[in-house]
Structure 1
Amino acid sequence: MSPTHANEAAVDPATPVQKNVKRKWVSYIWDTFDKSPEERRLLFKLDSAILTFASLGYFIKYLDQVNINNAFVSGMKEDLGLYGNQLNYMQTCWTVGYVIGEIPSNLLLTRIRPRYWIPAMELLWTVLTFSLSRCNTATQFYVLRFFIGLAESTFYPGMQYIIGSWYRKDELAKRSCIFHTSSGIASMFSGYLMDAVYRLGGRGGFKGWQWLFIVDGVISLPVALSGFVVLPDVPEISSPWYLSKEEVALSQKRMHLEGRQNREPFTRAKLKKIFSSWHIYLLTLLYIVFNNGAIGSQPVFQQFLKHSKDPKYSVGQINAYPTATYAVQVVTTLTYAWTSDSILGGRRWPPIIFGAIVNIISYVSLAVWDIPMGWKWTCYIICGAGFGISGLLMAWTHEICSEDNEERSLVIGSMNELAYVFQAWLPLIVWQQVEAPEYRKGFITVTVMSVIMFITTFVVRDLHHKEKKQKENRTQETEETEDFSESPAITPVDTKVPKT
């Protein structure tokens, strides 16, 4: 049994939340196996709704985000004469839109109903994805990619906020990481999909790469519409059709036991408290170096294959072979989730350190460049182990900021926002298309980022540990004071000797 369940009986003896002191081995397989029947039913419903929608939504979000890379190396470059740094500018326009929308969207989620806002934005970016198939100039791509980024900015930080509003500590990492694996699966699927739809070139007057945008939109549309039906709000205002009033009350109680606070107004005192804490600064820095300390958003493997002369790879191979990197991402992300929640007892930092080490080994080798071809392929593939840390960082943030709902929302938004602020300009300097496939500056940059991530992780770990100890000491002092004040008064004994 996880530590988060240790003192539940003292909170409410009638609660159906699991109270066993000994953890069953089956909980290492899936955490609901070690909970009360009421919790199991609740979590099954939540997983069926939230986790399914989050995973499918992130799948289409990432599919619609990375399709530009697959289209570019599959004929778009030659058809539109994009021989400069136009791909970099298309990625930057998306990133600028994403950056502008993130924090405002996450703050809106503390005031409006997520079940309407997030699906509406999904529907918008789906329509815009369809529109990409009709673009025939770089400028048109720039404009549409900006608005796609703006619409997509609502999804990942918004869904992480919702996940953190429904799940407890021993449940968070698995859900966050399963959610995040959808990005790796989408990147793999986009490569296979491009290989398949490339053969449609010429039908209906569309090129093969144009068909990719059309098919992506067809896949995205039903997922976006389903969000209006299945996505719940946060527990304090939620009334989805699939949860009873008792189950909503149980959800609220679970968050109370976890120390997660309800929504409150943004006051000057609250903002001062948030910005005077190390949380927002170090957690944001950690996410910046994670997000920019990997090559996941850059088609470096594809460019390496496209520039190869001996042997020369087909369009299908250029799109298919790099999916091995995302397969590594999926496997390692799920491994991180289960080991962090179960074997490591809720500690998030060891898998993050492992990912940083793999990054450093891979990117130092690629920066050298003149290495054996087999090792070069290995580095391109194993660096996927550094892509799947996002879910752990989000789970860690939910735990560190659990006592303030608005801080949790703002920090998550800030982490994503500033990570993409860097992604808006950094690729223009270190991942220039004209420098493909060696990208020496890029490989050196992500190596430095990974070293910073390594160091920052230990700093956050130590500060969080110190913070928890201080909280435990304050709680203990409060309990001792209450025990003393509630003890019966002692009548003083008269020690005077009576006169004789």
Structure 2
Amino acid sequence: MATEKADGQTSQSDDRIDVEQIDRAILPPVTLQAFAHLDEKAILRKMDLRLIPMLALLYLLSFLDRGNIGNAKIEHLQENLSLTDDQYNWCLTAFFFTYAAFEVPSNLVLKKVRPSIWLPTIMVAWGVVMTLMGLVHNYTGLLTARIFLGVTEAGLFPGVAYYLTNWYRREEIQLRQAMFFSAASVAGAFSGLLAFGIGKMDGVGGLHGWQWIFILEGIATVITASIAFFALFDFPATATFLTEEERAFVVYRLKYQGQSLNSPHAQVAQADEFKWTYVKDAFLDWQIWVNIFVYWGVVCPLYGISLFLPTIIKELGYESSQAQLMTVPIYITAAILAVVAAYASDRVGKRSPFIIGFMLMMVVGFSMCIATDPKENPRVVYGGVFVAACAIYPAFPGVIAWLSNNLSGSLKRSVGMALQIGVGNLGGAMASNFYRAKDKPRYILGHGLELGFIVGGIIASLILVVGYTAQNKKRAKKMDEGGLDAYTPQELSEKGDRALTYRYVL
């Protein structure tokens, strides 16, 4: 196989490519054609089978454990602990403050500690907290447990979202994000089924049904985390399920993605080293802060649905057990749509049309809810939350993928995604208070606030589209005028997504 030396000469060699050399290099020691004999689709399938099922299981348990308080509520948690409506809402809200605060620090730790160690460790921690939550006896105990659940769960979602970008190119990432995130939809369905079954354990061992929901789901999390220590892989360069040449290929294709192919400088490596300036760049990047408003436009409805869906359905006149089961078809349909939409988005290489389209679908769903009296037309309200949920779950991985596609440099992408998810999840703290007990059964305020955030998300999406389009045109014009002559490949690498060769995904 022919390889190119640093001086431009070539030599014939049967030696396999040095993975570490490729990972360190600024200029490519080989061309992509050197890997032409490899089956890229087969490598991707191999990665999918080894990574996605375990990651999806981890997130299923994470989303199950943070959202099962909604199922516990209709199993009489509030009455048994003598909680006022305000106290219950504070227990929901407190989780998101610590959850948001610890996401950026967790991703910085992830850069220093192997994912196969860090992710299962925090998972064991939140599993223990969840189990102990089943033993609380009053408001103070539940509030404290929810605060610590936020601390311990904080690192999983931003960690895995960033982790996947170290395996897949940006035109492949949304499908994998969706397969991973669709576990949240499945968790919603699974939570309803579990709560229906576990709720029948009321009185066993002198415990209430809602206590068994927390205890059994917490124990399941700890057991799964113990397996994850051995089942998770770290990064492509050390993946034992790939051959050495396959590892080199995966590292190479990731390192040189996102560049304009219309110039001799197209092969500009993404910076991987740790520098505090990259952390600063993330905090000062305009696109991250605008994207947070897009994120709020999806995450507020997401948490509104996940925390209150059983309650909303129960207020339509159904029994608790019926309400639990009626959440299942909503979440299953949403999970399927999330994967289908992600596949289509990756194929066309666009994010914004799908995100905006699903947000408009959310507007329709919540408008159906807000305009209908549930006592007169409960099926219309149920249909409205069905439509809204089936738009929320496909839109969410699109928002995550859109920002990750447009951040170049491993450290900046890590911090930027954690910042997006961390600050963005304060939307969960807001959504925790949207659906007040005194507003039942119509919940006009809650549905109205969701609509307001969705409209804000649509406006922010349009701002990003205009900004990205203008930047791409400006950079193309400068390149045509010979602007690249002022930069070395090293300087372009350090600029990351601000380099003239970099093109934003729309």
The residue correspondences of 1:158-197 to structure 2 (distance < 5 A) are 158-197=159-198
Q: State whether structure 2 residue 342 is matched by structure 1 residue 337.
A: yes
Structure 1 residue 95: Cα displacement: 1.1
1:409 corresponding residue in structure 2: 414
Q: Among 385, 390, 410, which residue is 2:396 paired with? A: 390
Distance 2:275 2:53 in 1: 32
Aligned counterpart in structure 2 of residue 314 of structure 1, from 303, 314, 319: 319
* Pairwise CA distance, 1:116: 1.0
Give the Å deviation of 1:471. Answer: 3.8
1:37-48 maps to which residues of 2 (within 5 A)?
37=39, 39-48=40-49
C-alpha displacement of 1:307: 3.4
Post-superposition CA distance 1:23-55 (Å, at most 9, x none): xxxxxxxxxxxxx42x34432332123212210
Residues 13 and 460 of structure 1: is their aligned pair in 2 closer, same or farther, counting only changes over 3 Å?
Answer: closer
Return the offset for 1:348.
Answer: 0.8
- Alignment partner, residue 97 of structure 1: 98
Distance in 1, matches of 2:154 and 2:431, equals 19
Kindly indicate whether the alpha-carbon contact (under 8 Å) linking 1:305 and 1:313 is maintained by their aligned counterparts in 2. yes
Question: Where do 1:14-93 residues align within 5 Å?
Answer: 14-17=33-36, 36-37=38-39, 39-93=40-94
Separation in structure 1 between the aligned mates of residue 32 and residue 73 of structure 2, nearest angstrom: 61
Give the alignment's Cα RMSD to 1 decimal: 2.5
Query: Does the C-alpha gap of structure 1 residues 66 and 213 become closer, same or farther in structure 2, counting only changes over 3 Å?
Result: same
Q: Deviations over 1:82-112 (max 9, x none)?
A: 3422321111121122112111111222233
User: Conserved in 1, the CA contact under 8 Å of 2:288 and 2:403?
Assistant: no
CA offsets 1:230-282 (integer angstroms, 9 cap, x no match)? 323344xx4243334333222210112314724223334x4554444322221
Percent of paired sites with the same residue? 24
Kept in 2: contact 1:325–1:383 (CA 8 A): no
Distance in 1, matches of 2:168 and 2:325, equals: 36
- Structure 1 equivalent of residue 275 of structure 2: 266
TM-score (norm 2): 0.82
Asked if the contact 2:114/2:234 (under 8 Å) is kept, the reply is yes
Q: Could you tell me whether the CA contact under 8 Å between 1:303 and 1:437 is conserved in 2?
A: no
The one-letter amino acid paired with 2:436 is Q
CA distance 1:294–1:162, change in 2 (3 Å): closer
Instruction: Identify the residue that residue 492 of structure 1 maps to in structure 2.
Output: none
The 8 Å contact of residues 294 and 359 in structure 1, kept in 2 or not, is answered as: no
Distance in 1 between residues matched to 2:195 and 2:301, nearest whole Å: 27
Aligned-partner Cα distance in 2 for 1:399–1:426: 27
C-alpha change, 1:271 and 1:97, in structure 2 (3 Å) is closer
Aligned residues: 446
Q: 2:299 aligns with which of 288, 291, 296?
A: 291
In structure 1, the residue matched to 2:128 is 127
| Structure 1 Cα separation of the partners of residues 57 and 271 of structure 2 | 27
Equivalent position to 2:349, from 329, 346, 350: 346
SS in structure 1 at match of 2:422: helix
Partner letter of residue 451 of structure 2?
T
- Matched letter for residue 238 of structure 2: S
- Determine whether 1:277 maps to 2:296: no
Comparing 128-137 and 206-215, the one that deviates more: 206-215
Q: Deviations over 1:260-316 (max 9, x none)?
A: 724223334x455444432222122211222114454554442234334xxx52321
Are the structure 2 counterparts of residues 305 and 14 from structure 1 closer, same or farther at C-alpha, using a change threshold of 3 Å? Answer: closer
Match of 2:406 among 393, 400, 412: 400
State yes or no: 1:155 paired with 2:168.
no
* 2:369 corresponds to: 366
Q: How big is the shift at 1:425?
A: 4.1
Q: Do 2:303 and 2:432's aligned partners in 1 also have CA atoms closer than 8 Å?
A: no
Query: Contact 1:201–1:208 at 8 Å: present in 2 too?
Result: yes
The alpha-carbon deviation at position 66 of structure 1 amounts to 0.9
- C-alpha distance in structure 2 between counterparts of 1:475 and 1:53, whole Å: 44
104 and 392 in structure 1: CA distance in 2 versus 1, 3 angstrom threshold: same
In 2, distance between residues paired with 1:178 and 1:132?
A: 29
Matches of 2:225 and 2:392, distance apart in 1: 25
